[in-house]
A = this chain, B = another copy of it.
């Protein structure tokens, strides 16, 4: 199977997440070499000061393992609010940084051209460019995992709004509802993310399950608490998506992230609920994300190559 990403310059790709960071060397054929997951060294403040040296170490190991693949650029992605144009991480509530010029810092540290963008936008771009939704012009790629966020494509191009676009997870579904990590209440993410489904179920049932898929399994075997939590999460997701449909009328909504692995147990009832909120609106095609768990790395590599092309 030829690599999804295709031919281009060899680059280093890093996807820094709230829990783990992934790293890989991408060769000239677009293959991801040495994909590895490392715990993110989260600090009470300035997590970037621990992350950047670790990227250096990971890069040295990758280079030692694959001495013939010489990276020409580095692609770095991270969560939070990221301003792609300036390459600055404006804010991350989980990684405790503010206004960090990652693009410049990475370029200086590696002595290579660097790109820095948002993890969900990068993964969404990989999904949109390389997946089946590429035949549409107006698309949302929604990632439902620990959090919920969307990558917005308008007329074929990513729309970032200075790093603030796509915060579907921080749309209020239930005013004065569940507390959210962002400081708000009743956000979609606090009701319907995989993390929220797990937390909410454990709270009502006094249980200790470790993932939303356990909640779904219990719902499917007749656990009423689990069924109620799962159902209310779907209601909230459908309502949040219906607002996006009314305003933007995307041709397709691609769902990815951990929760999307539930497959039909998610897609069928979600489509049914979404339909109830729509009348004359244009129906989006609901699609499964196709790129898999390394979409963030693929997106980081795409952006790194783009930096070289525009240099």
Residues of chain B with a CB closer than 8 A to A159's CB: 154-155, 248
Residues of chain B with a CB closer than 8 A to A162's CB: 249, 282
Chain B residue with Cβ nearest A240: B243
Chain A 50-98 residues near chain B, CB threshold 8 A: 81, 91, 93
Beta-carbon contact of A161 and B182 below 8 Å: no
From B242, B247, B277, A152 is in contact (CB under 8 Å) with B247
Interface pick from A25-33, A100-108, A168-176, A299-307 = A168-176
Residues of chain B with a CB closer than 8 A to A93's CB: 280
Say yes or no: is A165 at the interface (Cβ < 8 Å to chain B): yes
Beta-carbon contact of A168 and B280 below 8 Å: no
Beta-carbon contact of A249 and B171 below 8 Å: no
Beta-carbon contact of B282 and A164 below 8 Å: yes
Beta-carbon contact of A248 and B165 below 8 Å: yes
A165 and B244 CA atoms in complex are apart in Å by 10
Q: A154-B159, A171-B242 are in contact. Are A183 and B247 (CB under 8 A)?
A: no
Residues of chain B with a CB closer than 8 A to A175's CB: 235, 239, 277
From B166, B182, B246, A167 is in contact (CB under 8 Å) with B246
Beta-carbon contact of A184 and B279 below 8 Å: yes
Interface string of A93-135 (1 = CB under 8 A from B): 1000000000000000000000000000000000000000000
Say yes or no: is A138 at the interface (Cβ < 8 Å to chain B): yes
Task: Report the minimum CB–CB distance from A113 to chain B (whole Å).
Answer: 25
Residues of chain B with a CB closer than 8 A to A282's CB: 161-162, 164
Q: A154-B159, A279-B184 are in contact. Are A165 and B81 (CB under 8 A)?
A: no
A242 and B247 CA atoms in complex are apart in Å by 12
Say yes or no: is A281 at the interface (Cβ < 8 Å to chain B): yes
Say yes or no: is A296 at the interface (Cβ < 8 Å to chain B): no
Say yes or no: is A258 at the interface (Cβ < 8 Å to chain B): no
Residues of chain B with a CB closer than 8 A to A277's CB: 172, 175, 184
Beta-carbon contact of B248 and A170 below 8 Å: no
From B154, B243, B280, A171 is in contact (CB under 8 Å) with B243
A127 and B138 CA atoms in complex are apart in Å by 25
Chain A 242-279 residues near chain B, CB threshold 8 A: 242-244, 246-250, 277-279
Interface string of A174-194 (1 = CB under 8 A from B): 010000101110000000000
Beta-carbon contact of A244 and B242 below 8 Å: no
A6 and B170 CA atoms in complex are apart in Å by 42
Interchain residue pairs with CB less than 8 A apart (7): A152-B248, A165-B249, A167-B281, A171-B246, A172-B277, A175-B239, A247-B248
